[in-house]
Amino acid sequence: DWIMRDHIEEAVQKIREQVRDEEVILGLSGGVDSSVAAALIHRAIGDQLTCVFVDHGLLRLHEGDMVMDMFAGKLHAKVIRVDASELFLGQLAGVTDPEKKRKIIGGLFVDVFKAEAAKLKGDGAKGAKWLAQGTIYPDVIESGGAKSKKAVTIKSHHNVGGLPEQLGLKLLEPLRDLFKDEVRELGVALGLPHDMVYRHPFPGPGLGVRILGEVKKEYADLLRRADAIFIEELRSTIDHNSGKSWYDLTSQAFTVFLPVKSVGVMGDGRTYDYVVALRAVQTSDFMTADWAELPYALLKKVSSRIINEVRGINRVTYDVSSKPPATIEWE
């Protein structure tokens, strides 16, 4: 529509005026905000933008390839994919404490990103001068507001505050005045696929907080396949009252890997394999949440597909805990 086109034109002009002929670096995560920021900045300055996509090995099935296809393939943006999965998995080996895991993943993420940014910055006149971030208006309020003063840290969130100063780069935040809905509309208007722009949130530490206890590649591989089945069925199951898919009717849905084994039977054999839990919630603010009353037929299909298709998992459970007292993620 016209209003959105004017918005884009205005935002593009503003970015060009700010950046002029200088180079910009952006950390692409595959999430909505950094994706929309990347698409907008790319629209404004093309190859003056370099996106850095750090793959920590804890992404969902095919997620890294999808990010590359979209940004490098379709938008023709410059994207550096850093495959750091061995580094992350190596540092996580033997670590079971959720807060320690979060700190390791967040710390490594910053280190890897900084090393890439330092290369792009170089010291010549042509090096990058700007760091772009997909900060949106609610993040601006949150970082100055009451939430950061909370007495008890339930979970230390993974973020990259302070990076521009540490890197000696100027900060470019073209989404700072926008609410999430506006960011989504902008993303669609910029040509990003609807499914990417209307995705559920995904935590920075990724599958690292959805594999309980020690993170192992074997667990991550099983979890990715099980989770992909759950999401596929949520997307393809339409609720006839609303005409919406169960993916759109839930605020967040995912699979959790439980590193315990239980006995099962398959054919005439005994199995002794891992358990996963399905989690699906409805919430308006993610501070409180209700577990979603998914149709039994959907749960049944997801369960039987996971058990039949993912060798190594023989039991599927459904999490019926609300927040509070449970949290949305299990770690």
Phi then psi for 188, rounded to 5 degrees?
-65, -45
The reply to whether 34 sits in an annotated binding site is yes
Site membership for ligand XMP, residue 201 (CB under 6 A): yes
**Nearer residue to ligand XMP within complex by CB, 164 or 205:** 205
Closest residue by Cα to residue 180 from 10, 2, 35: 35
CB of 250 to ligand XMP, least distance (A): 12
CB of 155 to ligand XMP, least distance (A): 5
Q: What SS3 state is found at 305?
A: helix
Structural contact between residues 35 and 77, judged by C-beta atoms closer than 8 angstroms? no
Task: Give, for 83, the enclosing helix (H) or strand (E).
Answer: strand 78-83
The reply to whether 143 sits in an annotated binding site is no
Q: For the window 36-75, what string marks contact with ligand XMP as x by the rule CB under 6 A? A: ----------------------------------------
Site membership for ligand XMP, residue 221 (CB under 6 A): no
Structural contact between residues 23 and 129, judged by C-beta atoms closer than 8 angstroms? yes
Please tell me the distance from the alpha carbon of residue 90 to that of residue 9, in angstroms, as a whole number: 45
Decide the pairing of beta strands 128-132 and 78-83: unpaired
List C-alpha distances in Å: 308 to 260, 311, 316: 19, 7, 11
Region near ligand XMP per CB under 6 A, out of 9-17, 49-57, 150-158, 241-249: 150-158
The reply to whether 33 sits in an annotated binding site is yes
Among 205, 224, 258, 294, binds ligand XMP (CB under 6 A): 205
Number of helices and strands in the chain (H, E): 12, 9
Please tell me the distance from the alpha carbon of residue 85 to that of residue 114, in angstroms, as a whole number: 16
**Nearer residue to ligand XMP within complex by CB, 4 or 61:** 61
Token readout for 154 is: 């339930």
CB of 99 to ligand XMP, least distance (A): 11
Please tell me the distance from the alpha carbon of residue 29 to that of residue 63, in angstroms, as a whole number: 10
**Nearer residue to ligand XMP within complex by CB, 135 or 252:** 252
Among 30, 203, 206, 208, binds ligand XMP (CB under 6 A): 203
Site membership for ligand XMP, residue 180 (CB under 6 A): no
Q: For the window 94-133, what string marks contact with ligand XMP as x by the rule CB under 6 A? A: ----------------------------------------
* Interactions with ligand XMP, residue window 258-317 (CB under 6 A): 286
- Cβ contacts of 117 within 8 Å, gap of 6 or more: 25, 52, 128, 131, 163, 167, 169
| Residue list for the binding site for ATP | 29-35
Residue ranges that bind ligand XMP, judged by CB under 6 A: 154-155, 157-158, 201, 203-205, 252, 286, 323, 327-329
